[in-house]
Amino acid sequence: MLDQKFVRENFAEVKERLSLRNGDFSYLDNFLKLDEERRKIIVEVEELKARKNAISKQIGIYKRENKDVTPLLEEMDLDDDRIKTLDERLRDLEEEIKLIMLNTPNLPNKNVPRGTSSEDNVEIRRWGEPTKFTFTPKPHWDLAETLDLIDFERAGKITGSRFAIYKKLGAKLERALITFMLDVHTQLHGYEEQLPPVIVNRDSMTGTGQLPKFEEEAFKLYNNQNYFLVPTAEVPVTNYYRNEILNGDDLPISFCAYTPCFRAEAGAAGRDTRGIIRQHQFNKVELVKFAKPEESYDCLEQLTRDAEHILQLLELPYRVVELCAGDLGFSSAKTYDIEVWLPSYNDYKEISSCSNFEDYQARRANIRFRRAPKAKPEFVHTLNGSGLAVGRTWAAIVENYQQEDGSILIPKVLRPYMGGLEYIR
RNA sequence: GGAGGAAUACCCAAGUGGUUGAAGGGAUCGGUCUUGAAAACCGACAGGACGUGCAAGCGUCGCAAGGGUUCGAAUCCCUUUUCCUCCGCCA
């Protein structure tokens, strides 16, 4: 959420920066009007309440002294209706303003490249070279079928499309990747591990920005409309500190968490229909940081490096791109996507998205910190990134490490997690 | 799921309608004393949001959350949440 005061006082700048995103923000003009009325009403109603409080206090004193209070009571009656009317109007105004604010995305950071689509994203760096083959490589869905690593058909029977059953060494590889990623982040990068609920409530979904605007993207529980399946561990882990004031000395705080992730993929019909690239349920290890404002952009660099490190250890070629303003997620001020080389796409494919939300989520979720014991609380900056999307990593390994005989060479760092196995065949 | 009980500051805790605009203790911070520390003593210590003002300040709200009753609510009523005890069920 943007700071109301900031929007009011820097209205032109806010609109200009928002306009870098795709979308129509003319509705914001209404905010100014509502906000002005709101403040006018506050002035009036608070004055009435102050008077009322004073009279009530007088009544208390009169009663103790056994004086007649009827004149005071009469004076009060007039105020009462007016207060009620104003309070109701105020509540409506505040609700309306809140709705506007909750539906307004974050301001892109000033240094974010301009652009309207992923075409305008800027490549920052590459690591490794796209894998070369002396034979025609197969897509992971073919390899998975031949090696009996995934059963898509029965998953369709059991649940529906865009679900998969990992089998045998396929299941073990997925499990190995999860453990490997968590081990690297906790042991090498200083993240604290969490294993959070995969069902969260409406307030949590609102805190990180999934609601109210993107409700159709989320899986909702049928018997409790207040509960949602997590689309990412970002939601439970960021909301860990909702409505809390942290000690500034403890920042930055770094958490990592594995969860399955659930996405409706409402607008994605026909996209990535083969394989495990786009599923309704997938596994992900997420990195989350809470930082002081002045250090959050350093934290974003570090978090991105931490995610990249996984690919380096797995020796998978990738590149890092910075998203242009038009391609930024709703809550993000700046985002790096990490894209792994995927032979079946003959292209780089997103495997991690690392973002600095600045104080946007913190204001929604009311997460603050104090620099010193008595200091005024300030909003923290929140960051997160995939470290990494496990299913896509699985696909990248299977495709990039495939051998001419159809077997999969297991990356060295994963072998301890695979019982020393060298090949899947 | 059923029956009870509870929720006040960092912690313990008083408080059942009108100087409680929240007692007391502990912890913490500052000071006196001391070579230093402890103890003792003195002082500070209910947050935060919003509004208003150049500012000092003032005002509104605030005792789990949200409503309500009342001139006035921590105190009465309703709803919700969380925790505890017992019973049932269950991995």
Angle between helices A296-314 and A390-400 (to 10 degrees): 40
């604010």: which residue's tokens?
A101
CB A386 within 8 A of CB A352: yes
Number of domains composing chain A: 2
Check if residue A43 sits with its Cβ under 7 angstroms from strand B: yes
In whole angstroms, give the CA distance from residue A211 to residue A270.
25
pLDDT band at A9 (very low <50, low <70, confident <90, very high): very high
The predicted model gives A161-171 an average pLDDT of 97
- The more confident residue out of A269 and A131 is A131
**Whether A64 and A134 share a structural domain:** no
End-to-end alpha-carbon separation of chain A, Å? 51
- Whether residue A110 is contained in a domain is answered as no
The predicted model gives A341-354 an average pLDDT of 97
Model ipTM?
0.86
**Whether A221 and A143 share a structural domain:** yes
Beta-strand runs (E) in A292-417: 318-322, 334-342, 347-356, 367-370, 378-379, 381-389, 408-409
Whether the per-residue pLDDT at A347 is higher than 80: the answer is: yes
Query: Alpha carbon of A168 to those of A151, A172, A284, A402: distances in Å?
Result: 10, 6, 20, 17
A350 catalytic, yes or no? yes
**Whether A252 and A369 share a structural domain:** yes
DSSP A30: H
Q: Of A102, A134, A163, at which residue does a domain stop? A: A102
DSSP A175: H
Sheet holding A378-379, edge to edge: A244-247, A367-370, A378-379
pLDDT band at A244 (very low <50, low <70, confident <90, very high): confident
DSSP A78: H
Report the pLDDT value the prediction gives residue A373, as an integer from 0 to 100: 76
Tell me the backbone φ, ψ of residue A422, rounded to 5 degrees: -105, -35
Beta-strand runs (E) in A72-162: 122-127, 150-151
Give the contacts of A274 (CB within 8 A, at least 6 positions apart).
A139, A141
Whether the per-residue pLDDT at A78 is higher than 80: the answer is: no
Q: What percent of chain A has pLDDT over 70?
A: 99
Check if residue A197 sits with its Cβ under 7 angstroms from strand B: no
Sign for the CA dihedral angle at A228, A391, A321, A296 comes to positive
**Whether A385 and A243 share a structural domain:** yes
Least confidently predicted of A131-145, A259-273, A281-295, A329-343? A259-273
For residue A411, the SS3 value is: coil
- Whether residue A112 is contained in a domain is answered as no
Whether the per-residue pLDDT at A66 is higher than 90: the answer is: no
Check if residue A4 sits with its Cβ under 7 angstroms from strand B: yes
Per-residue pLDDT of A374-404, as tens digits, reads: 788 899 999 999 999 999 999 999 999 999 9
Check if residue A50 sits with its Cβ under 7 angstroms from strand B: yes
- Name the β-bridge partners of A340: A318, A349
**Whether A127 and A9 share a structural domain:** no
Query: Which bases of chain B are under 7 A from a protein CB atom?
Result: 18-19, 28, 48-52, 59-61, 67, 71-72
**Whether A66 and A156 share a structural domain:** no
- CB atoms under 10 Å from CB of A357, counted, come to 28
Range of the domain at A343: 118-424
**Whether A59 and A122 share a structural domain:** no
Whether the per-residue pLDDT at A306 is higher than 90: the answer is: yes
Report the pLDDT value the prediction gives residue A1, as an integer from 0 to 100: 92
**Whether A80 and A133 share a structural domain:** no
Per DSSP, helices labelled H in A108-194 are 140-146, 152-158, 168-187
Peptide bond into A416 cis (omega under 30): no
Least confidently predicted of A341-350, A372-381, A402-411? A372-381
Report the pLDDT value the prediction gives residue A326, as an integer from 0 to 100: 95
CA atoms within 13 A on the CB side of A88: 5
Most confident region among A35-49, A84-98, A294-308 by mean pLDDT:
A294-308
DSSP A4: H
Report the pLDDT value the prediction gives residue A31, as an integer from 0 to 100: 95
Least confidently predicted of A57-66, A127-136, A245-254? A57-66
**Structure token pair of residue A210:** 């999934």
Q: Which of residues 346-385 of A touch strand B (CB under 7 A)?
A: 370, 373, 376-377
A308 catalytic, yes or no? no
CATH at A58 = 1.10.287.40
Whether the per-residue pLDDT at A425 is higher than 70: the answer is: yes
A331 catalytic, yes or no? no
Per-residue pLDDT of A90-112, as tens digits, reads: 989 999 999 999 999 999 999 99
- Whether residue A263 is contained in a domain is answered as yes
Dihedral angle over CA of A50, A53, A57, A58, nearest 10: 70
DSSP A305-326: HHHHHHHHHHT--EEEEEPPGG
For residue A244, the SS3 value is: strand
